């Protein structure tokens, strides 16, 4: 298949591009390299030494004799170029990763809030609008997030895959309806993902665009069999207070003996998936597209759930690095249950990678190898959800 990977230079996009190319698909990456620019602005770098994109692509071709194309484009602002690229390549599928994806970054300042909304909402809308204008029957596979459901909204009831069955009283009696699961975003970033959902619902209904929306959990791990082929293909690894996600961040903190920073009680339950399963799920979604006229197909792209404090305990026992509880910069419940349905991917043949000792060891090896690249001053979370709270960074022990 001819596939565009928009955001193909990022943490999920790069290993996905390699996985799809390895599987024989004709892949073109579209990216504006904004994630690398944000690193420059935040004065931080990936823990792993990521090569420039042209070096990555040359190395892939040398190692595998397979070519991945690249087009520089800002999805949120270069509408005419997007339309031209669509007409030139006529892709069968488009994987859409191209969004500002850090909740803390989205809450940092009025500028980052507005950037996140402009970038994410315009990017998704441009894609839907351009497919409608060009009349192409391309399947969009979009990366959403488990955060659209919010946490704890339904107590211990399982979170369904996108849609909720509701009963409505009418003068003629009770009727049942399937509605988009109520949105309950916890940050400006999550809010943009809930707006994406509405745009997908509209364009599938009005213009028969085919969309699969993957509500992904927190991705951990860093390498896939393809990124391991050469150091120049290595995936990025974010550890800073804005982009570093829990578990990868704990493993890096353990590697340098830095207390594992748990925000609040650590009773928050989150959903996880290993990067190797991310790339497999995306391929499964591409190979199983919805029909024209079908409502957005929504999958929960999740394999496990854990409480943050249990993850910290696990890593602490393994590494003997203590846990440090800090004030929570987020406005959220101290504790929540999270039970997630993920039957659709299991039915399509996903064999989940679980949080095993072996995989933790693998991430730890990476963190130990590149430990000299860590800037400890970048570890504490500095973004605040509300102005009134004391910055978590102020209390962090170094
Ligand atoms: N990483 C996770 O744990 C996680 C969890 C759930 C969902 N997701 C979703 O998966 C997607 C990818 O996440 P990631 O971790 O790879 O993020 P990332 O920031 O590493 O990658 C995003 C890529 O998109 C590019 N990009 C951003 N805006 C663009 C624009 N306007 N035009 C062109 N390119 C643009 C960036 O340069 C970058 O290469 C995001 O939509 C994110 O919300 C990620």
Model confidence band, residue 152 (pLDDT cutoffs 50, 70, 90): confident
Residue 397 confidence (pLDDT) above 50: no
- Cα distance between residue 178 and residue 29, in whole Å: 36
Share of the chain above pLDDT 90, in %: 89
- 340: which DSSP letter? B
Tell me the pTM.
0.95
Residue 52 confidence (pLDDT) above 60: yes
- Cα distance between residue 155 and residue 153, in whole Å: 6
User: What average pLDDT does the segment 112-140 reach?
Assistant: 98
3-state helix, strand, coil in the chain (%, to 5): 40, 20, 40
What's the pLDDT score for residue 155?
78
Q: Which residues pair with 380 in a beta bridge?
A: none
- Cα distance between residue 227 and residue 222, in whole Å: 9
Residue 393 confidence (pLDDT) above 60: no
Instruction: Give SS3 for 132.
Output: helix
DSSP 172-201: TEEEEEEEEPPP--SSHHHHHHHHHHHHHH
| pLDDT, tens digit, 9 for 90 and up, residues 308-317 | 999 999 999 9
User: What average pLDDT does the segment 340-359 reach?
Assistant: 89
Residue 396 confidence (pLDDT) above 70: no
Q: Which residues contact 145 (CB under 8 A, 6 or more apart)?
A: 190, 193, 215, 216
User: Which two structure tokens, joined as six digits, stand for 350?
Assistant: 């996903």
Q: Is the CB of 105 under 6 A from ligand 1?
A: no
Helices (H) and strands (E) in the chain, counts: 13, 14
- Cα distance between residue 82 and residue 77, in whole Å: 9
- Cα distance between residue 78 and residue 98, in whole Å: 13
| pLDDT, tens digit, 9 for 90 and up, residues 187-240 | 999 999 999 999 999 999 999 999 999 999 999 999 999 999 999 999 999 999
Lowest mean pLDDT among 7-16, 55-64, 377-386: 377-386
Model confidence band, residue 360 (pLDDT cutoffs 50, 70, 90): confident
Lowest mean pLDDT among 102-106, 113-117, 339-343: 339-343
What's the pLDDT score for residue 398?
38
Q: Which of 189, 239, 243, 306 is catalytic?
A: 189
Q: Is the CB of 147 under 6 A from ligand 1?
A: no
What's the pLDDT score for residue 156?
81
Residue 144 confidence (pLDDT) above 70: yes
What's the pLDDT score for residue 391?
52
Which of 397, 398, 389 shows the shortest CA–CA distance to 104?
389
User: What average pLDDT does the segment 27-39 reach?
Assistant: 98
H/E segment holding residue 207? helix 188-207
Model confidence band, residue 151 (pLDDT cutoffs 50, 70, 90): confident
Q: Which of 28, 145, 192, 367 is catalytic?
A: 145
| pLDDT, tens digit, 9 for 90 and up, residues 241-291 | 999 999 999 999 999 999 999 999 999 999 999 999 999 999 999 999 999
Q: Which residues pair with 273 in a beta bridge?
A: 219
Strand ranges inside the chain, DSSP E: 2-6, 26-31, 69-72, 93-96, 139-145, 163-170, 173-180, 210-216, 218-220, 260-263, 269-274, 297-301, 304-307, 323-326
Q: What is the mean pLDDT of the chain?
A: 94
Model confidence band, residue 392 (pLDDT cutoffs 50, 70, 90): low
Q: Is the CB of 71 under 6 A from ligand 1?
A: no
Does 203 qualify as catalytic in the annotation? Answer: no
Q: Is the CB of 244 under 6 A from ligand 1?
A: no
Q: Which residues contact 347 (CB under 8 A, 6 or more apart)?
A: none
User: Which two structure tokens, joined as six digits, stand for 134?
Assistant: 């060009």
Of 72, 98, 151, 237, which is best to mutate to test ligand 1, by the most ligand atoms within 8 angstroms of its C-beta?
98
């Amino acid at each position: 298949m001819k596939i565009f990977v928009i955001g193909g230079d990022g943490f999920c996009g790069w290993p996905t591009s390699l996985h799809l190319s390895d599987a024989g698909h004709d892949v073109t990456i579209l990216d504006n390299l904004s994630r690398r620019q944000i690193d420059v602005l935040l004065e931080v770098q990936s823990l792993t030494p990521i090569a420039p994109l042209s070096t990555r692509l040359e190395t892939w071709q040398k190692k595998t004799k397979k070519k991945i194309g690249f087009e520089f484009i800002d999805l949120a602002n270069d509408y005419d170029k997007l339309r031209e690229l669509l007409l030139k390549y006529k892709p069968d599928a488009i994987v859409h990763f191209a969004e500002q994806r850090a909740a803390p970054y989205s809450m940092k300042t009025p500028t980052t809030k507005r950037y996140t909304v402009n970038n994410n909402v315009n990017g998704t809308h441009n894609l839907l609008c351009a497919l409608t204008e060009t009349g192409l029957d391309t399947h969009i596979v979009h990366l959403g997030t488990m955060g659209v459901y919010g946490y704890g909204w339904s107590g211990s009831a399982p979170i369904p895959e996108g849609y909720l069955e509701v009963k409505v009283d009418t003068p003629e009696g009770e009727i049942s309806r399937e509605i988009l699961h109520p949105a309950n975003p916890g940050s400006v970033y999550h809010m943009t993902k809930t707006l994406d959902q509405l745009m997908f619902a509209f364009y599938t209904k009005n213009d028969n665009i085919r969309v699969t929306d993957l509500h992904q959990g927190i991705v951990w791990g860093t390498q896939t069999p393809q990124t391991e082929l050469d150091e120049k293909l290595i995936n990025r690894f974010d550890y800073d207070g804005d982009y570093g996600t829990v578990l990868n961040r704990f493993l890096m903190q353990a590697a340098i003996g830095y207390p594992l920073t748990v925000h609040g009680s650590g009773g928050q339950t989150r959903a996880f998936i290993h990067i190797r399963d991310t790339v497999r799920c995306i391929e499964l979604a591409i190979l199983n597209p919805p029909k024209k006229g079908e409502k957005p197909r929504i999958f929960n792209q999740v394999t496990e759930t854990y409480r943050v404090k249990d993850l910290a305990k696990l890593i602490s026992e393994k590494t003997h690095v203590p846990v440090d509880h800090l004030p929570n910069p987020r406005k959220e419940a101290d504790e929540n249950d999270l039970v997630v349905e993920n039957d659709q991917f299991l039915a399509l043949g996903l064999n989940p990678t679980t949080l095993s000792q072996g995989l933790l060891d693998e991430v730890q090896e990476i963190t130990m190898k590149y430990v000299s690249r860590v800037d400890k001053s970048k570890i504490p979370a500095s973004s605040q959800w509300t102005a009134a709270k004391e910055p978590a960074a102020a209390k962090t022990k170094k």
